[in-house]
Every structure is written in structure tokens, then in C-alpha cells.
Amino acid sequence: MSSPTATLLISCPDQQGLVAKFANFIYANGGNIIHADQHTDFAAELFLTRLEWQLTGFNLPREFIAPAFNAIAQPLNAKWELHFSDTVPRIAIWVSKQDHCLFDLIWRHRAKEFTAEIPLIISNHLPLQEVAEQFGIDYHYIPINKDNKLEQEAKQLKLLREYKIDLVVLAKYMQILSADFIAKFPQIINIHHSFLPAFVGANPYQKAFERGVKIIGATAHYVTSDLDAGPIIEQDVVRVSHRDEVEDLIRKGKDLERIVLARAVRSHLQNRVLVYGNRTVVFE
Amino acid sequence: MSSPTATLLISCPDQQGLVAKFANFIYANGGNIIHADQHTDFAAELFLTRLEWQLTGFNLPREFIAPAFNAIAQPLNAKWELHFSDTVPRIAIWVSKQDHCLFDLIWRHRAKEFTAEIPLIISNHLPLQEVAEQFGIDYHYIPINKDNKLEQEAKQLKLLREYKIDLVVLAKYMQILSADFIAKFPQIINIHHSFLPAFVGANPYQKAFERGVKIIGATAHYVTSDLDAGPIIEQDVVRVSHRDEVEDLIRKGKDLERIVLARAVRSHLQNRVLVYGNRTVVFE
Amino acid sequence: MSSPTATLLISCPDQQGLVAKFANFIYANGGNIIHADQHTDFAAELFLTRLEWQLTGFNLPREFIAPAFNAIAQPLNAKWELHFSDTVPRIAIWVSKQDHCLFDLIWRHRAKEFTAEIPLIISNHLPLQEVAEQFGIDYHYIPINKDNKLEQEAKQLKLLREYKIDLVVLAKYMQILSADFIAKFPQIINIHHSFLPAFVGANPYQKAFERGVKIIGATAHYVTSDLDAGPIIEQDVVRVSHRDEVEDLIRKGKDLERIVLARAVRSHLQNRVLVYGNRTVVFE
Amino acid sequence: MSSPTATLLISCPDQQGLVAKFANFIYANGGNIIHADQHTDFAAELFLTRLEWQLTGFNLPREFIAPAFNAIAQPLNAKWELHFSDTVPRIAIWVSKQDHCLFDLIWRHRAKEFTAEIPLIISNHLPLQEVAEQFGIDYHYIPINKDNKLEQEAKQLKLLREYKIDLVVLAKYMQILSADFIAKFPQIINIHHSFLPAFVGANPYQKAFERGVKIIGATAHYVTSDLDAGPIIEQDVVRVSHRDEVEDLIRKGKDLERIVLARAVRSHLQNRVLVYGNRTVVFE
């Protein structure tokens, strides 16, 4: 499987013959499908699929795949994305003061759990600059307050462009982004430290403690202009008890946050996530 | 362990020597403690404990235990309950149309997973009458609508008194009880088909589907006049995916509801649950 | 989706074009695929797929589907099964003295969690006869000892034929079947009360207690002549602690056994399970 | 709670009055108990308890606590340990080539999830020397082969003594220690990458894949001379499916290993683990 692959992510109004049509497109051009996943949302009458095939032996040159597939997709009103496995996406990690998600993403990157470059860390605080230096990643300190937000967001956007960033990962960034920013750069994954939609907003562990829940969670989701309401990619939970103080919830939650964020980032980078409406299909 | 036991559930402003004082009370009277659990809520400055000891060999006659312990408890401002393991509590199960929690509680009762009598089922619908008859339990059909609620609640209360009910279990009763009713009969456990506080109120599975969550849950809690906001006794969750339609969430949720409700009822009946504020300590 | 469907389960040496070929077969005959799942085991060089399509509008009459598909399958060396959703499979439940899995399967059957008929219960003990009668299912008492095993198995086989049974569910049957019996009737699902391959054989909860594990499990698997070593369909676990005696493990384990067995039976009945080697693919 | 505390871990043949006697010892000397946990193993007729109290205000000087308590413990045939929260234990982490558990323990140490010093890393390989240097920890390279094992173990023991090590953590050390070594230094926690007792020994993920399990696990345990058979401290699991290759099991397993090992080390360092026979009580 060392051959580079192409991946099509397609969502399309449901109709007869879609599996055959898409598979034929690849087969007719000499492609060897290594993963094919489908899902039909019957309520939404939507067909969603992910097709990954080996480029070695595929008769269409890369630059012709998109136009050729478009000829099939357009009459079906399909939306689609095409990705190549040897195009390495570039990530910016945004942090505040907490280091657990940052460390974890860096460790997984070194362990080759996902394929990406991490050239940029942005933070509204200074403490993690040292970590960035330790691992040779550029660190830009852009402090945010209520007066300078728009102007600082302009700086952030400029950096994302300069560094050719494909995905922003909010690894406990703890700031709300403006709707305008999100519109200009919509590829953002956030980790929220609660089992959404419970405990939206600030201090979820404190709220969870006060509510006396017996299980806490963490949620990775795409960021939209609605606070903590974007499409959920991954969630996980851990059991707590009356013996756990707020600080125990925070400690236990960190393990959740690390794992949930990492799974979501990995699924996204492997082009396994299809968003439609406010929902995701995550092909595993 | 066939000897009957006494159990004290105590909550008390925290201070030095409480473990010793309570244990001494039992030891000095010849009691053999078989379970002793403590918890200190440092924020609330509250000490909570559960002590269970064998009555065989205990020098105080049963009727003197309460007054004797009160002499210790009063100067400490302790709240406490005393239970005997051979006093069998009486449960009324309230249902609507769904049978899974009812069947499950009846099966567990037969399997001796908890000690109780179940002499009464109350329902606002007729379909489960047949189940009640099959297992020889009285079934009272008390239909509720917005006009007759108060008057029907009076009938329900009367039945609880007649049947000498100690605990009401809302096993998917699907009706909101009035604050007045709850004030008059506060020992009520409800199963809510979501991971509270997410999806309070009606149709939680539909809401969970629309939100696109990756995990669903169920919550057993004591009923208070705030809808779905009473002290949580037990919660559990199960993973779902984009492949699960609303009807799959409902099906998977039923297994959660059965187990979570059963655990909560069992803990309550074994006098393992201590409520303080809107929280519970569940001694396991 | 009330239209009846056909389902093909196919395993086939991997090669280019399989997704297209199988999808084309259905599409070319006017079929509307509602579920398509594939998996490639790269180590085994095996392609496994499940295709389900609506029969309404499908141009091939039912009796011609198998021969028509065979013409495609044979040159590919594919193994395959064809099922129709309106052919209701017939289950025999085999029990010993414990009732929890039996009750659970009966309840799920009534709740329409799976489509099947349950005309027959076989047991080596008498206590559950009453349950069978309560739900109107024939109960055959076939006591087993080391001397009469072969002869009793002959009776069991005869019953399976008379009742036209498609699937035997060992719902805590607690007896080992002979290799000869399994060869003659290989469609058997067993629930083993441990997290296999830990604690093969008798008394797994006792063994789990002695080993001091912190989690217990249950395993549903197809029965082969190797004890507790057949292909695993489903497993689940629950946390335990030092507070749990053997009897608590047994009680907690019952909930696992019920759920794990039910999930496995449902997946099997929906033709979602493909066995190859000693492994299963369970398409969800 | 910033006051230093003392902790007694006691196991004792069960008899009447133990809770009272031990609590009285602390109360009579002016101690304020902040955690009291008990467990009775009725089969073993053993009483196990953990008592933690504040030293501020305690009338007995530290050096007299042990002899004073011994006067109580001896007639009861109790085994006990006394620990002070401000005595910082010293850990040696032993690694091979994999870095995930090492990184994780270092991160948790920096995050103050547990109180300890980590002055020493021992490895039979060189690759992680760089990590040790990055975090300023001494790294000793002691390669092991079948011929030099005893002699190298002598070097290891010498290092443990020189560095005044209290606990060895085998963080994927991948070597079997001799019975002699374990006898001389018995405080060793190992992380095994399977849900013990399934898949004892080498290559558990490969074995798990071949067996076709649907859940994998990890186990932290004290090391004894029986391979992978020592008292279990903590276990956890994660669901896998047919889509997971061996390398996916390894990747998913790493997250388990990190968390399970960290929980076990933390419980041990907080003196929450009591070993008796081949079992543990972990007071939470």
C-alpha cells in the first residue's frame, strides 16, 4: 500500500445506480479501489461516499481526474472533494496556557499517527513558547483582548496564509473566534471539554461538578459561528464519582481531550469526515 | 452474612473525630461493622458516611438504636437515616406504553437482584395491563390529561398510601408530576432517556440525532419540581454513529435505560445513596 | 423502506474492479442499493462485501438472482450467500437453568428488535419450562449426561429438522456440543461469560475473581469444535472492583451476557456477519 | 488541604471493632482524618483499610507514630505501612525503544498529576537517550542479551541503590526480569499491552488480531516472578473492529497503555493500593 492514493468524498441526492457509477469511473480508468464506504441518510435523501484508490496503474493523469469526475458529478448535483495521499496538509495549532493537547499532537505527529506538517503555533499567551522552541515550531504570540480582537484576527489570518495552513486545530485555545474569521478560514477543529451539548461555554468541569453528573466527556467539532454548536466529529467519556473534585474532573478530562482531539484530527487528515447539515459522517 | 443488618446513612458538618465517634457507637454496643464508607466534601465542609453492621450480637434492641444514636447525632447537627435489611421496601412502578423497563425490573426482582415488594403498577395507558396480570401485580389505569391532572394525582397519592408504597419508580412514565405531588411523595426515581443535562424534556433521541452526537446516554435521578434537574444517581452511555437512525438510538437507548434505572433502584434500595444539595453520594 | 430487500454476502480473492462488478449487477437489473459495505483484508488478500437492495423494481425474478449472480461469482472464485428480508429465519433457543438470556431474547423478539420466529426451546433441565409455556413456545426437555450424550444429540438434531430451525442460540446452555453435532448443524451462536480468550471453559467468573481483574466481559461467538474458540461476533465489558464478590461479577455479567448475545443474534439475523478463517466481519 | 498528611495502609484478620480502634488511634492523638476507606474480603476473612489524616495538630511526633501504632497492630496480627505525603518517592523509568509511555509519564509529572522525582531512566537501547537529555534525566544504557543478563541486572540494582529509587516503572521495557532481581527489588509496576490474562507474553496485539477479538485492553500490574501474572492494579479497554489491522491495534493500544500505566503509578504513589494474595484493593 505504499502507492499514493486518491480519495473522493462525495455527497449527492440519493438515486439509483450511484455505487455503480462512481465505482465504474475508477475501474474504467484502471484504478484499484482499496477503501469504499457508503452511507445513505434516508431522511435527508442523501447519498454519501468515500472512495480511495491507488494511483499506480490509474490511467488518468492527476490533473485530469477532477475535470473527468466533474462530468459525472454535475448531472447528479453531487458535491465532492478530491485529495491525494502524498499532498501533506499543513496544520496550525492554536493554544492558550494548557500544554496537554499540544504535547499530545506533537508526540503523535512524531509517532507518525497522522501525516501532516506542523509549521506554526499561535497563542494569546507566552508560556508555551518554550515547548514550541523545543520542537522547532514557529510560535507567534498574538494576545487578544476585547478591544484588539478584529485587528489581531487579521494578523492571525495573515499568518495562516503565509504558512499556507490547511487546518487550524484549537488545542485548548479558550477564545471565541469571530464569525467573520470563521467565514474566511472555515477549516477549524476545536476540542470542547464537555460532552456537548451539555455544558456549552466556559467552565464546563465546574458546571459538571455542580450538576453532579456521573460521567464527563469531551467533544471535538468543526467550529461554526454558533458557540460550541458546530458539527461533532468525535466524543468520548469517562466515569466520575462523588470522590472527584473539580480538579479531578479537570485531570481526568485532559486525557479525554487529548484522545478525542487526536482522533478527530486524524480522521479529518485522512479525509474520512464528510459534513452535511450540522452532522458528520466519519468513515472508519 | 445471613444475619440481618442495620444501616446508618449520615451527613454531618465536617469536624474532627467523626469516624471514631460513629464507629465507637456501634462497637461499644457489640456491633460488627461489615461495610463502612465515608466521603468528605471539602467544598461543602460536609462529612457523609454509610455504616452497616450485623444486628446479631448487637446489644441495643432495634427500637432503641434510633434514640441512642440521636443523642450522638444531635450535638453534631447530623442528619441521618436508619434502615434494617429485613424491612422490605414496597415499590410502585409507573409506566406508560413502553414495556422494557417494566419487564426488566420485574425480571431483576424475580432474580433477587434487589429486595423489595412490587405490589402496584400505575399507568396512564392500558397496554401494559396484560403484563401486570401475567406477573400478578395490581394495575391501576389512571389516564392523565391537562384538565384532570390534579384530581388524578389525588387518586395516585391515595393508592400509594393504600399500598404503603415507599418508592415510586417512573419506568418511562412520560408525564410530568406536579410540584405539589412531589412535595407530598418525594421518594421518586425517574429514568430520563438522555445523558443529562443534555436534551432535557421531550424527544431526547430525536434531539440527539439532530445534534449529531457520537454517544448517547441515559440518566436515573430523583425527581424534583425542576424538570429533569433532580439529583443524578446513575448514568451510562453507548457509542452511536452516522449509521444509526433515530429508531436505532431508541433501540440502543432502551438497553441503557434498563440498566441505568436498575442500578439506581438497587443502590437506593440498599441504602447506598445519600443526597445533599442537588448531588448524590453513591457508596458502592 | 417497507419494500422487501435482497442481501448478498460475498467473500472473494481481492482484485481490481470488484466494487464496480457487483454494483453493476444490481444496477443493470434495475435494483436500488440501500446498503453497500466493503472490507478488504490486505493480509489475507480477500475482499468482503455486503450489498442490500430493494426487490421492488428489480427486474430479475427472485429465483433467477442466484443463478445470474453465480455466473459472475464463479470466475472470481467468490463465496456468497443470498438472503431475502421477508424470509423469516427460525430460531431454537437452548437453555439450562438460568433465565436472563432467554427472557431477554423473548422480550426483544416481542419488541421487534429482530425478525425471526422462535418456535422451539430445548433444555437439559426443567425449571424454564414454565417460561416457555408463558410465552407459548414449545419446550423439549432433553437431559444430558456423559452416557447419553450422543443419543440425546440425535434427538436434538431431529427436533431442529422437524421445526425447520435455521439458527441455534445457546442462551447459557452450559453443555459442550460434540464435534459431530456441530458438523451436522453448524449455525450455532453461543454466549460465553468471559472476555475471551481469557477464562475459557467452566466458571469464568470465579476465575476472574481469583485473578483479580478490574474489568469483566462477555463474548458471543459461533460454535466450533474447539471449546470457546470459534469466530467472535461481539464482546463487551464492564468495570469491577475489589468490592465485587463472585456473586457481583455474576450479576454484572448477566447484563453483559444479555446485551452481547442479543447484538450478535441481531447482526446474524440481519445478515451482517461474514465469517472467514476464524474471524468475522460485522457490517454495521 | 495543604497540610502534610500521614497515611496508614493496613490489612488485618477481620474481627469486631477494627474501624473504631484504628479511628480512635488517630482521633485520640488529635488527628483529623480526611480519607477513610475500608474493605472486608469476607472469603479471605481479611479487613483492609486506608486512613489518611492531617499531621498539623496531630500530637504524636512523626517518629513516634510507627511504634505507637505498632502497639495496636501487633495483637491484631495486622500488616501495615505508614507514609507521609511530603516524603517524595523516587522513580526509575525503564524503557526499550517505544517512547509513548515515557513521554506520557514525564508530561504528567510536569503537570503535577503525581508527586515524585524521576532522576533515572534505564534502557537496553539507545534511541530514547535524546528524550532523557531533553528533560534533564540521567539515562543509563544497559544492553541485555541472554548471556549478560545476571551481570547487567547487578548493574541495574546498583543504580537503583545509588539513585535511592523507591519504584521501578517498566514503561514498555520489553524484557523479563529474573526472579532473583524481583526478590531484591520488589516494587515494580509493569504495563502489559493486553487485557490480562488474555495474551500473556510476547506480541499480544498480533495474537489479538489473529483471535479476532472485538475489544483490546491494557493491564498495569506489579511484577512477580510469574510472567504477566502479578497483582493487577488497573485495566482498560477500547473497541476495535475488522477494519483495524495489527498496526491499528498497536496505535489504539498505545493510548490505553499510557492511561492505564499512569493511573496505576498515580494510585501507587498516593498509597491507594493494597496487595494481598495475588489481588489488589485500589482505594479511590
B127-178 tens-digit pLDDT: 999 999 989 999 999 999 989 999 999 999 999 999 999 999 999 999 999 9
What is the crossing angle of helices D246-269 and D204-211, to 10°? Answer: 130
pLDDT of res. C33: 93
Domain that holds residue D147: 90-282
Residue A39 and residue A112 in one domain: no
Q: Share the mean pLDDT of chain A.
A: 95
Q: What cell was used for D255?
A: 493510548
Task: Give the CATH number, domain containing residue D267.
Answer: 3.40.50.170
Cβ-based contacts of B197 with chain A (< 8 Å): 198-199, 211, 213
Residues in chain B: 284
Determine phi and psi for A235, rounding to 5 degrees: -140, 150
Catalytic residue among B99, B228, B236, B248: B228
**C191 near C270, Cβ under 8 Å?**
no
- DSSP labels, B76-131: GT-EEEEEETTS--EEEEEE-S--HHHHHHHHHHHTTSS--EEEEEEESSSTTHHH
How does residue D43 score in pLDDT terms, banded at 50, 70 and 90? confident
Q: What is the DSSP letter of A194?
A: S
Q: What is the dihedral of CA A227, A231, A233, A238, to 10 degrees?
A: 50
β-strand partners of B169: B93, B189
**Is residue B228 among the annotated active site residues?**
yes
What is the crossing angle of helices D18-28 and B18-28, to 10°? Answer: 140
Cβ-based contacts of D16 with chain B (< 8 Å): 27, 30-33
Task: Say if residue B240's pLDDT is above 70.
Answer: yes
Mutate to test the interface with C, among B50, B107, B247 (most CBs of C within 10 A): B107
Residue with cell 453448524: C186
CA distance C264 to C272: 10
Residue A140 and residue A256 in one domain: yes
Q: Share the mean pLDDT of chain C.
A: 95
Q: What is the CA radius of gyration of chain C?
A: 21
| Boundary residue ending a domain (A84, A118, A152) | A84
* % of chain C residues with pLDDT over 70: 99
Q: What is the rounded average pLDDT of the residues A56-75?
A: 96
Among residues B2, B6, B200, B180, the alpha carbon closest in space to that of B84 is found at B6
Q: Do C107 and B113 touch (CB under 8 A)?
A: no
Residue C36 and residue C121 in one domain: no
CA distance B237 to B252: 10
Cα D269 to Cα B108, B150, D119, D146, D185, distances in angstroms: 40, 58, 16, 33, 17
Q: Which residue of A has its CA nearest to C58?
A: A16
pLDDT of res. D96: 97
Cβ-based contacts of C251 with chain B (< 8 Å): 113
**SS3 (DSSP) at B168:** strand
CA distance B140 to C201: 47
Residue C80 and residue C102 in one domain: no
How does residue C177 score in pLDDT terms, banded at 50, 70 and 90? very high
Catalytic residue among A166, A228, A236, A244: A228
Task: Say if residue D2's pLDDT is above 80.
Answer: no
Q: What cell was used for C194?
A: 468471559
pLDDT of res. A221: 98
Among residues C119, D58, D192, the alpha carbon closest in space to that of B17 is found at D58
pLDDT of res. D262: 98
Q: Are strands A188-192 and B273-276 parallel, antiparallel or unpaired?
A: unpaired
pLDDT of res. A146: 87
Q: Share the mean pLDDT of chain D.
A: 95
Q: What is the rounded average pLDDT of the residues A159-168?
A: 98
Among residues D131, D117, D125, the alpha carbon closest in space to that of D165 is found at D117
Determine phi and psi for C213, rounding to 5 degrees: -70, 155
Q: What is the DSSP letter of A226?
A: S
pLDDT of res. B111: 93
SS3 percent helix, strand, coil of chain C, rounded to 5, is 35, 30, 35
Q: What cell was used for A181?
A: 474569521
pLDDT of res. C43: 87
CA distance B261 to A44: 34
Q: Work out the burial of residue A30: count CB atoms within 10 Å of its CB; fewer than 13 is exposed, 13-18 middle, 19 or more buried.
A: middle
Q: What is the rounded average pLDDT of the residues D17-26?
A: 95
**Identity of the residue in C32, C35, C42 whose CB atom sits nearest the CB atom of A16:** C32
Numbered residues of chain B with Cβ closer than 8 Å to any chain C Cβ: 99-100, 103, 107, 111, 113, 134, 241, 243, 251, 254-255, 259, 284
pLDDT of res. C146: 87
Tally Cβ neighbours within 10 Å of residue A254. 22
What is the crossing angle of helices C18-28 and C62-73, to 10°? Answer: 150
Q: What is the rounded average pLDDT of the residues B206-224?
A: 96
Task: Say if residue D46's pLDDT is above 60.
Answer: yes
pLDDT of res. C240: 96
What is the crossing angle of helices C204-211 and C246-269, to 10°? Answer: 130
| Boundary residue ending a domain (A29, A49, A84) | A84
Q: What is the DSSP letter of A210?
A: H
**Identity of the residue in A39, A214, A235 whose CB atom sits nearest the CB atom of B213:** A235
Task: Say if residue A195's pLDDT is above 80.
Answer: yes
Q: Do B24 and D26 touch (CB under 8 A)?
A: no
ipTM exceeds 0.95: no
Residue C209 and residue C243 in one domain: yes
Determine phi and psi for A94, rounding to 5 degrees: -105, 130
pLDDT of res. C21: 95
Cβ-based contacts of C278 with chain D (< 8 Å): 210-212
Q: Are strands C117-123 and C90-95 parallel, antiparallel or unpaired?
A: parallel
CA distance C272 to C233: 10
How does residue D3 score in pLDDT terms, banded at 50, 70 and 90? confident
Residue B178 and residue B107 in one domain: yes
Residue A148 and residue A194 in one domain: yes
Q: Work out the burial of residue B216: count CB atoms within 10 Å of its CB; fewer than 13 is exposed, 13-18 middle, 19 or more buried.
A: buried
Determine the residue type at D256.
L
Q: Which residue of A has its CA nearest to C49?
A: A36
How does residue A93 score in pLDDT terms, banded at 50, 70 and 90? very high
Cβ-based contacts of D284 with chain A (< 8 Å): 241, 243
pLDDT in tens, B116-128: 999 999 999 999 9
Q: Which residue of A has its CA nearest to B233?
A: A214
> Which residues does A124 contact at the CB level (< 8 Å), separation at least 6?
A96, A141, A142, A143, A144, A173, A174, A175
Numbered residues of chain C with Cβ closer than 8 Å to any chain A Cβ: 1, 16-21, 23-24, 26-28, 30-38, 40, 42, 239
pLDDT of res. B3: 85
Rounded to the nearest angstrom, the minimum Cα separation between A110 and chain D is 10
* % of chain B residues with pLDDT over 70: 99
Cβ-based contacts of B232 with chain A (< 8 Å): 211-214
How does residue A102 score in pLDDT terms, banded at 50, 70 and 90? very high
Catalytic residue among D14, D37, D228, D236: D228
Q: How many CB pairs under 8 A join A and C?
A: 57
Determine phi and psi for B72, rounding to 5 degrees: -80, -40
**Identity of the residue in B41, B196, B212 whose CB atom sits nearest the CB atom of A278:** B212
**Identity of the residue in D43, D212, D234 whose CB atom sits nearest the CB atom of C278:** D212
Cβ-based contacts of C34 with chain A (< 8 Å): 40, 42
Q: Do D278 and C212 touch (CB under 8 A)?
A: yes
**Identity of the residue in D107, D241, D243 whose CB atom sits nearest the CB atom of A103:** D107
Task: Say if residue C234's pLDDT is above 60.
Answer: yes
Q: What is the rounded average pLDDT of the residues C245-249?
A: 95
Rounded to the nearest angstrom, the minimum Cα separation between C264 and chain B is 14
DSSP H or E stretch at residue B196: none
Q: What is the CA radius of gyration of chain A?
A: 21
Rounded to the nearest angstrom, the minimum Cα separation between C23 and chain A is 5
Task: Say if residue D1's pLDDT is above 70.
Answer: no
Mutate to test the interface with B, among A199, A215, A224 (most CBs of B within 10 A): A215
Task: Give the CATH number, domain containing residue C71.
Answer: 3.30.70.260
Residue B61 and residue B47 in one domain: yes
Task: Say if residue D152's pLDDT is above 70.
Answer: yes
Cβ-based contacts of A206 with chain B (< 8 Å): none
Task: Say if residue C1's pLDDT is above 70.
Answer: no
Residue C172 and residue C151 in one domain: yes
- DSSP labels, A69-112: HHHHHGGGT-EEEEEETTS--EEEEEE-S--HHHHHHHHHHHTT
Order of strands, sheet of B188-192, starting from the edge strand that comes earlier in the sequence: B138-141, B117-123, B90-95, B167-170, B188-192, B215-222, B232-239
Catalytic residue among C99, C228, C236, C244: C228
Q: What cell was used for B274?
A: 445519600
SS3 percent helix, strand, coil of chain D, rounded to 5, is 35, 30, 35
Q: Which residue of D has its CA nearest to C284?
A: D241
**A272 near A7, Cβ under 8 Å?**
no
Residue B53 and residue B121 in one domain: no
How open is the CA angle D65-D71-D73, to the nearest 5 degrees? 95
Report how many domains make up chain B: 2
| Boundary residue ending a domain (D38, D69, D84) | D84
pLDDT of res. B180: 96
- Touching B: which chains, 3+ CB pairs < 8 A? A, C, D
> What is the C-alpha end-to-end distance of chain A, expressed in Å?
17
Q: Which residue of A has its CA nearest to C23?
A: A20
Residue C21 and residue C43 in one domain: yes
CA distance A164 to B1: 71
* % of chain A residues with pLDDT over 70: 99
pLDDT of res. A62: 95
Q: What is the CA radius of gyration of chain D?
A: 21
pLDDT of res. D124: 97
Cα A248 to Cα B231, C237, D90, D115, distances in angstroms: 20, 24, 23, 15
> Which residues does C104 contact at the CB level (< 8 Å), separation at least 6?
C258, C261, C262
CA distance D249 to D236: 14
Residue with cell 489581531: A152
How does residue B43 score in pLDDT terms, banded at 50, 70 and 90? confident
Q: Are strands A167-170 and A188-192 parallel, antiparallel or unpaired?
A: parallel
Rounded to the nearest angstrom, the minimum Cα separation between D267 and chain B is 18
Alpha helices, DSSP H only, in chain C? Answer: 18-28, 62-73, 100-110, 129-134, 149-162, 179-184, 204-211, 246-269
Q: What is the rounded average pLDDT of the residues B63-74?
A: 97
pLDDT of res. A284: 85
Task: Say if residue B2's pLDDT is above 80.
Answer: no
pLDDT in tens, D95-105: 999 999 999 99
CA distance B188 to D161: 60
**Identity of the residue in A195, A199, A212 whose CB atom sits nearest the CB atom of B278:** A212
Cβ-based contacts of B31 with chain D (< 8 Å): 16
Residue B80 and residue B96 in one domain: no
Q: Are strands D117-123 and D138-141 parallel, antiparallel or unpaired?
A: parallel
Cα D249 to Cα A63, A267, A282, distances in angstroms: 36, 16, 19
